[in-house]
């Protein structure tokens, strides 16, 4: 069941209406899955590890971090999802990770059962498959990053990925704070700060602010990330 966090603009009293909206949309168009728009404030929980997984989400705006709490209490961020990405897929009916809004986020929530009932001719099914394949490739890249790259290579790969995914011309406005980047790269906050400084000293990037990065030499950054 979709359980909105208290910070959502969809109050608890609206849940029956949201459920009926799902039903009406499905009856009106058998080719498209039913959906409901949701808004999340910064750091709001979209779903928690262990919750029932009845919905998948498409980001309209904002950035979502997906993470898992390790047995020793550390947090490992496995993905940052950007505008247009879909997330929330599980192989069973339980979420094995948590998802939170990095900043203000707007999503469209799709009931999983309505996706399964969509016909193969639906353009949405094609989009769903494409998003799934992209997510698989990003997961494979992240595993390689954690297993084979040193600290500087990890940060370089992260920045190259962000430039590619945001369609940036080389200037990045990073929504996530550095401690989130550290948890994604499997590094300490101090190491990430040192690596940013090292890239800056090498004139590969320019730090306009803590969240704004200009890539000065993309070819060197890409070579470092390879």
- Indicate the domain borders of the chain: 12-145, 150-225
Strands laid side by side in the 75-81 sheet: 45-47, 98-101, 64-69, 75-81
Residue 10's pLDDT is 38
Q: For residue 105, list its beta bridge partners.
A: 40
Q: Report the predicted TM-score, pTM, of the whole model to 2 decimal places.
A: 0.75
Task: Specify which of 71-75, 148-152, 177-181 reaches the highest per-range mean pLDDT.
Answer: 177-181
Task: Specify which of 32-41, 80-89, 191-200 reaches the highest per-range mean pLDDT.
Answer: 191-200
Torsion angles phi and psi, residue 171, rounded to 5: -105, 120
Percent of the chain with pLDDT over 90: 53
Q: Look over the chain and give the mean of its residue pLDDT values, rounded to a whole number.
A: 81
**What is the rounded distance in angstroms from the CA atom of residue 134 to the CA atom of residue 51?**
25
Residue 91's pLDDT is 78
Tell me what the mean pLDDT of segment 63-86 comes to. 91
How do residues 180-200 score in pLDDT, each as one tens digit? 999 999 999 999 999 999 999
12-145: in CATH 2.60.120.10: yes
Residue 113's pLDDT is 76
Residue 26's pLDDT band, with cuts at 50, 70 and 90, is: very low
The CATH architecture annotation of domain 150-225 reads Orthogonal Bundle (1.10)
Residue 32's pLDDT is 57
**What is the rounded distance in angstroms from the CA atom of residue 50 to the CA atom of residue 116?**
22
């Amino acid at each position: 069941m979709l359980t909105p966090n208290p910070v959502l603009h969809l109050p608890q009293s609206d849940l029956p209406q949201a459920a009926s909206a799902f039903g009406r949309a499905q009856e009106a168009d058998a080719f498209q899955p039913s959906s409901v728009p949701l808004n999340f404030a910064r750091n709001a929980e979209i779903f928690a590890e262990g919750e029932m997984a009845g919905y998948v989400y498409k980001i309209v705006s904002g950035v979502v971090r997906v993470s898992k709490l390790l047995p020793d209490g550390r947090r490992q961020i496995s993905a940052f999802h950007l505008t247009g990405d879909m997330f929330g897929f599980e192989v069973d009916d339980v979420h094995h990770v948590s998802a939170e809004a990095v900043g203000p986020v707007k999503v469209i929530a799709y009931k999983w059962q309505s996706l399964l009932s969509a016909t193969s001719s639906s353009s949405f099914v094609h989009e769903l498959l494409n998003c799934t394949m992209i997510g698989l490739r990003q997961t494979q890249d992240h595993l390689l990053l954690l297993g084979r790259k040193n600290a500087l290579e990890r940060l370089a790969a992260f920045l190259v990925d962000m430039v590619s995914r945001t369609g940036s011309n080389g200037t990045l406005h990073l929504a996530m704070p550095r401690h989130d980047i550290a948890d994604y790269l499997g590094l300490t906050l101090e190491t990430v700060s040192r690596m940013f400084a090292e890239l800056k000293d090498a004139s590969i990037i320019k730090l306009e602010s803590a969240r704004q990065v200009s890539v000065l030499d993309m070819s060197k950054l890409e070579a470092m990330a390879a």
